[in-house]
Amino acid sequence: MSSTSPRFYDFGPFRVDLTEHVLLRGSETVPLTPKAFETLVHLLRHNGRIVIKQELLKMVWPETYVEEATLAQNVFTLRKALGGSEGEQYIQTIPRRGYRFVAPVTEVMDEPADVPLTPAPAAPSGSPLGVPITNERRAFSIAVLPLINSSADPEAEYLTDGITESIVNTLSLLPELKIKACSTVLPFKGLETDPQAIGRKLAVDSVLVGRIVGFSENISIRMELVDVNHGWQIWGEEYNQGLSEFHHFQAAVTKDIFEKLSLKLPADWQLLSKPRAHKAEAYQFYLKGRYFLNQRTIQGYKKAIDYFEHAIEIDFSYALAHCGLADSYIKYDFYGITAPWETIAKARAATARSIELDPTLAESHTSLAAIKLIYDRDILGAEREFKVALRLNPNYAHAHDGYAHCLLEMNQIDDSLKECKSALELDPYDLEINQHFGWYYLHARQPDLAIEQLMKTLEMGADFYRARILLGIAYVQKKSFSQAIDEFIRAGEVEKTPVLSGFLGHAYALAERKEAVEILDELLEQSLNSYVPPYSIALVYTGLGKRDEALEWLQKALVEHSRWHGWLRITPELDSLRSDPRFTELLEHRFTRVQN
């Protein structure tokens, strides 16, 4: 080996010995297949930049045709060898493009393997972002704080979340940067806080702060990039964008950040930064739809549906708008206000259109997987779509979250837990993912852990209706009926729905309180004039010990393809029915398509 070529690559606790072709952790050898080792070396040689999938395939498997799935499996093996979920800290997936090694790497020339590593020198005051000036290449880390609406117009509020999400998504595709997930900065939304202190808490090099200072025909946004180490401003700019050009804003911000940090934009920058919406007005309606979708309330979903539909009317080719529309219908159906055959037909059509327009969107395949799992009783089909979504974007937290549900219904308990944890690691402050983790513990018959997780969720969002319902279910599982009833009543202060009435009536029945019959009578009367989920009525009958009536209404839930039939196999509320042969027959019908 020449004197100018390194013999070792050092990163974290690991050392790669290029002469012996081994990966070491301290004095221990980490077993790797030859192809996994070659993949690692190639990523290390290009540390800090994106290595395109085709480049990796050509270098690791020269003159041999292999599918991208083989490369993905190779990277999965590497991450597992580097510490499982900790391996994500070293190798970043760039959706639809390739991979990037993001941890600091030191090249060590020919020297004895037992020479101890010397710590990096203190950062010279003149180095950018306080990063030590050494031979190693390092990815800068940035947290994008939610924008603050300082304008006099409350209509600008919807922009704050949308702009933040757009900037994060654009920056995450580029080399030499590590970006914190949107949910990680969510607790700081609307707060006038010290960006340097936030940056230290999030362990990043810099913090991007922005505020909307004007909102009319033109939008004025002031952006500032703050160095966490020293507290000084790296860069600041005020953007005055006309509404007709606003969908290009995140590209302008990203380009300016790279120029000020003296970083190199990739050759395909223009393609990456191109907005998925062709028309600015459609993009604005899409941002409003996302804003209301994230509120996770009945009115929020209704407004989200309206805004996504407006976006589609303006730009029918806008795949993300179709996907947002599908998700809104799927989530709205949880409340049991509209018959599922009405909402899901619309969700199915929107999902199909989204995939037709852009088959590379992980979000769209996740929506299709949810439809297959929840409504079609096609678990194997759902699993296929979740895997497609994760192949397109392994860092899409909601795909991991949905796949966890799928695995739980397949009785793959351990794998389901792993997917739950993966989703939470990727998006630790997302309310849905947090409450779904509680949902896992609930159906794994671990109510204490469910309660602990759901309490954490409600600390982040006290008015999150679905988390409050799940907490009530967990207390029912522990036979703490008074606490369960209290939680259901608190949920009713946020949203009053037939779904909530079913769970509350079930708890009242188990507590032997007369309110159970009153709620049952109300639901039966209501069902004569408007839609009521049969599962809600079945729940109350189950609590009252009336098996015949409970099974009759569960059969109705099965026939209408309600989302609640997905709970039949695993939900604790129906444990009292599991010894009944008629319930077993229902389950066999429920899972017939799984075997096809």
User: Is residue 556 domain-resident?
Assistant: yes
Whether the CB-CB separation of 365 and 323 falls below 8 Å is answered with no
CATH number of residue 531's parent domain: 1.25.40
Nearest Cα neighbor of 57 from 86, 35, 76 is: 35
Inform me whether the pLDDT recorded for 133 exceeds 50: no
Residues 158 and 244 in one domain: yes
Residues 88 and 207 in one domain: no
Residues 67 and 185 in one domain: no
Residues 49 and 167 in one domain: no
Task: Report H helices in 153-297.
Answer: 157-171, 182-185, 195-202, 249-260, 269-273, 280-293
Residue 364 binned pLDDT confidence (cut-offs 50, 70, 90) = very high
Inform me whether the pLDDT recorded for 50 exceeds 90: no
Nearest Cα neighbor of 330 from 360, 361, 308, 358 is: 308
User: Is residue 314 domain-resident?
Assistant: no
Residues 99 and 139 in one domain: no
Strands (E), 26-176: 28-30, 51-52, 91-94, 98-101, 106-108, 140-144, 148-149
Cα gap 102→348, rounded to integer Å: 38
User: Which is more confident, 28 or 507?
Assistant: 507
Choose one of 241, 265, 289: the last residue of a domain: 265
- Give tens-digit pLDDT for 374-429: 888 788 999 999 999 998 888 788 899 999 989 988 888 889 899 988 888 877 77
Whether the CB-CB separation of 537 and 528 falls below 8 Å is answered with no
In angstroms, the Cα distances linking 534 to 297, 378, 489 are: 22, 21, 21
Q: What angle do CA 170, 329, 244 make, to 5 degrees?
A: 40
Whether the CB-CB separation of 107 and 96 falls below 8 Å is answered with no
CATH number of residue 235's parent domain: 3.40.50.10610
CATH number of residue 96's parent domain: 1.10.10.10
Element (H, E) at 206: strand 206-215
Residues 261 and 183 in one domain: yes
Helix, strand or coil for residue 485? Answer: helix
User: Is residue 354 domain-resident?
Assistant: no
Residue 588 binned pLDDT confidence (cut-offs 50, 70, 90) = confident
Residue 455 binned pLDDT confidence (cut-offs 50, 70, 90) = very high
Residues 91 and 148 in one domain: no
Phi-psi region of 492 (alpha: psi -120 to 50; beta: other; left: phi over 0): alpha
Task: Report H helices in 138-207.
Answer: 157-171, 182-185, 195-202
Inform me whether the pLDDT recorded for 132 exceeds 70: no
Tokens of 327: 């998700």
User: Is residue 542 domain-resident?
Assistant: yes
Q: Which residues make Cβ contacts (< 8 Å) with residue 220, sequence separation at least 6? A: 151, 212, 213, 214, 238, 239, 240
Cα gap 220→384, rounded to integer Å: 45
CB-facing half-sphere around the CA of 301: CA atoms within 13 A: 18
Tokens of 123: 């950062």
pLDDT of residue 192: 59
Residues 579 and 543 in one domain: yes
Residues 251 and 142 in one domain: yes
Choose one of 61, 91, 108: the last residue of a domain: 108
If you average pLDDT over residues 429-437, what whole number do you get? 86
State which residues form the domain around 184. Answer: 135-265
Whether the CB-CB separation of 569 and 591 falls below 8 Å is answered with yes
- Give tens-digit pLDDT for 339-348: 888 888 899 9
Give me the number of domains the chain comprises: 3
Q: How many C-beta atoms lie closer than 10 Å to residue 553's C-beta?
A: 25
Residues 86 and 153 in one domain: no
Pick the range with the lowest mean pLDDT from 141-155, 183-197, 421-435, 445-459: 183-197
pLDDT of residue 42: 87
User: Is residue 469 domain-resident?
Assistant: no
User: Is residue 466 domain-resident?
Assistant: no
Residues 60 and 19 in one domain: yes
Residues 169 and 76 in one domain: no
User: Is residue 397 domain-resident?
Assistant: no
User: Is residue 205 domain-resident?
Assistant: yes
Whether the CB-CB separation of 207 and 195 falls below 8 Å is answered with yes
Choose one of 265, 300, 320: the last residue of a domain: 265
